[in-house]
Amino acid sequence: AGAVMYGWAQTDANLLGVIDADLQHPPEVLPRLLEPVMNGNDIAIASRYVSNENNGLGDWNRLRAFISRAGTLATAPLQKKDMRIRDPLSGFFVVRRECIEGLDLQPEGFKILLEILVRARVRRPIEVPFHFGTRHAGKSKADFKVALAYFNLLGKLSRHALFGPGQR
């Protein structure tokens, strides 16, 4: 997330995006994310969970799919009641700069979208189905340390959700 924050700080673009470099997020989906944001949505999220019959998860084994679903369910109390996102842990999205301007985003690990959904001025989200691809390079970052960082993030965002802006 540090690289994302650095990149966003280096540009004055109105639309900001996040995509994995290992090609698990297919670049050909980008136009389908850009279009709704250019037409008025605040954020477009590439979602593994709005695809038909869970085929958005690609070749995940049952354990990985279960862990992903459990992590997603843990976000439910943090999400705005009128804006439930099925894949709040996606690492593939485009957001309007104005939605995050002025926020001191401090994402833990690589789950920047969740902090944006909880803390930013997002009113009109949209989820775009996509098929999570096979990793072409590198290794997964998921390990025990990442799990601890995720639970730390949930704690920080819970304070914000309960007590309002200014809380992390």
Output the domain CATH number for residue 154: 3.90.550.10
Model confidence over 5-54: pLDDT tens digits? Answer: 999 999 999 999 999 877 788 899 999 999 999 999 999 999 988 865 54
CB neighbour burial string for 55-66, b if at least 16 within 10 angstroms, e if fewer = ebbbeeeeeeee
Is a pLDDT exceeding 70 seen at residue 119? yes
Residue 51 lies in a domain: yes
Instruction: Examine residue 47 and state whether it is found in any structural domain, yes or no.
Output: yes
Q: Cα separation of 146 and 52, whole Å?
A: 29
pLDDT number for residue 98: 97
pTM of the prediction?
Answer: 0.81
Q: Count CB-CB contacts under 10 A for residue 99.
A: 19
Give the count of domains, the chain.
1
